[in-house]
């Protein structure tokens, strides 16, 4: 059967389309490079402890106090856990101390995260933690510990972080300092 | 015979510049996505101080507008103005950074973004936080470099 119009067998030339995309990208790239900053900033909110607010209210929560002491590359985790046995009163607490030895590269933040995750499962309502770094600990390490304590966006741990300041930044118990 | 075959193949090889452009577009697309992902309108923290380096953090929270307190190896600054010496307060036992306290108290406390060089020991940061909270600062954020930074 004879076609009314001849069948077009020649393929369309794609080069002009590619050229327009390339031109658009070459225009976008300098614009982005001019307006962008190499540094993206992020904020880490710190709770400020005022006089009289240093001790959290003794409610019915399992964990009454949670502290992360940083001394050099050593980390000491202290938790005041409310006793739940029948003879225990509301004020009876047990201090649980866990020392996390450092790795060759620095503090063992993965183990710290594991321990904190266990505490978070024990008392999911608790959001508050106090971080007590030593005076010689660099800020970069403090920030790494804060990240470990706060957890990730998928698995948040303790989001209300207090950094020790003033008289509450005493030496860590059991460290011999 | 062998030479003739080679010559024939070279003669009929077709150049297709349109096809060579495809990988270039791919590369540019990847570059564009990478730049868009790391796009930031944040101004440089201390443009005249090349030695100043912020610590890195996994946080993705935006930095809110507030009074900027910078602690660098050279000094302590409030909104870019030098108020105190870092070396003095690093070596002395004063719990309060008097100049910082006075400047923040004059400003009426409020919100503060604390931008500390990554190498500064915590002893000085502790004094700064103590001074800020004594001056009546209500909200404190530590500013860090996001992981997505280039």
Q: Which residues, in sequence order, are CB contacts of B55 under 8 Å at separation 6+?
A: A139, A140, A142, A143, A144, B116, B118, B144, B145
From the list B25, B139, B142, which residue is nearest A44 (CB)? B142
pLDDT at B150: 64
Cα A103 to the center of its chain, rounded Å: 19
Q: Is A48 helix (H, G, I), strand (E, B) or coil?
A: coil
pLDDT at B46: 75
Contact B122 A29 (CB under 8 A): no
pLDDT at A169: 46
Can you give the residue ranges of every domain in chain A?
Answer: 63-168
pLDDT at A113: 92
pLDDT at A144 over 90: yes
Does the interface predicted TM-score (ipTM) exceed 0.95? no
Mean pLDDT of B70-85: 91
B contact residues 6-35, partner A, Cβ 8 Å cutoff? 17-18, 21-22, 24-25, 28-29, 31-32, 35
Mean pLDDT of A145-157: 88
Contact A46 B140 (CB under 8 A): yes
Q: What is the enclosing helix (H) or strand (E) of A76? A: strand A74-82
Contact B31 A48 (CB under 8 A): no
pLDDT at A30: 84
For residues B24 and A26, what is the distance between their CA atoms, to the nearest angstrom? 12
Confidence of residue A51 (pLDDT cuts 50, 70, 90): low
Other CB atoms within 10 A of residue A51 CB = 8
CA quadruple A165, A109, A136, A177: dihedral positive or negative?
positive
A-chain residues near B32 (CB < 8 A): 25, 28-29, 32
Contact B25 A152 (CB under 8 A): no
A-chain residues near B72 (CB < 8 A): none
B-chain residues near A149 (CB < 8 A): none
User: Which residue in A153, A145, A168 sits closest to A65, CA to CA?
Assistant: A168
Query: Rounded to a whole number, what is the distance in angstroms from the first to the last CA of chain A?
Result: 100
The fold for domain A63-168 equals: Nucleotidyltransferase; domain 5 (3.30.420)
CA distances to A137, B7, B25, B27, B74 from A140, rounded to whole Å, are 8, 66, 39, 35, 18
Put simply, whether B109 touches A (Cβ < 8 Å) is no
The bridge status of strand A93-100 relative to strand A74-82 is: antiparallel
Put simply, whether B61 touches A (Cβ < 8 Å) is yes
**Local structure of residue A156 (DSSP, 8 states):** B
For residues B80 and B25, what is the distance between their CA atoms, to the nearest angstrom? 44
Chain-wide mean pLDDT for chain A? 80
Q: Is B67 helix (H, G, I), strand (E, B) or coil?
A: strand
Closest chain A C-alpha to B69 CA, distance in angstroms: 13
Closest chain A C-alpha to B2 CA, distance in angstroms: 35
């Amino acid at each position: 059967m004879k076609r009314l119009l001849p069948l077009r067998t020649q393929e369309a030339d794609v080069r002009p389309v590619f050229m327009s995309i390339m031109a658009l990208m070459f225009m976008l790239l300098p614009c982005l490079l001019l307006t962008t900053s190499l540094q993206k900033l992020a904020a880490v909110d710190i709770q400020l402890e005022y006089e009289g607010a240093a001790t959290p209210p003794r409610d019915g929560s399992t964990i009454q106090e949670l502290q992360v002491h940083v001394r050099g590359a050593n980390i000491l985790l202290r938790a005041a856990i409310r006793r739940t046995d029948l003879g225990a009163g509301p004020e009876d607490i047990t201090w649980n101390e866990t020392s996390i030895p450092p790795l060759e590269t620095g503090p063992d933040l993965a183990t710290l995260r594991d321990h904190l995750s266990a505490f978070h499962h024990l008392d999911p309502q608790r959001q508050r933690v106090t971080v007590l770094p030593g005076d010689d600990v660099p800020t970069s390490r403090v920030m790494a510990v804060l990240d470990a304590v706060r957890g990730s966006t998928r698995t948040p741990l303790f989001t209300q972080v207090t950094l020790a300041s003033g008289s509450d930044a005493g030496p860590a118990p059991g460290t011999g300092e | 015979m062998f030479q003739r075959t080679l010559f024939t193949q070279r003669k009929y090889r077709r150049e297709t510049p349109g096809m060579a452009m495809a990988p270039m577009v791919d590369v540019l697309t990847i570059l564009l996505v990478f730049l868009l992902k790391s796009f930031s309108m944040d101004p440089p923290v201390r443009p005249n101080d090349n030695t100043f380096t912020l610590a890195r953090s996994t946080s993705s929270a935006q930095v809110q507008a507030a009074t900027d307190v910078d602690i660098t190896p050279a000094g302590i600054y409030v909104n870019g103005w030098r108020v105190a010496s870092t070396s003095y307060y690093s070596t002395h036992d004063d719990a309060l950074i008097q100049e910082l306290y006075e400047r923040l108290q004059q400003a009426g406390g409020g919100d503060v973004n604390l931008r500390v060089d990554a190498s500064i020991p915590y002893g000085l940061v502790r004094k700064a936080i103590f001074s800020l909270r004594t001056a009546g600062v209500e909200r404190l954020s530590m500013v860090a470099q996001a992981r997505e930074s280039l």
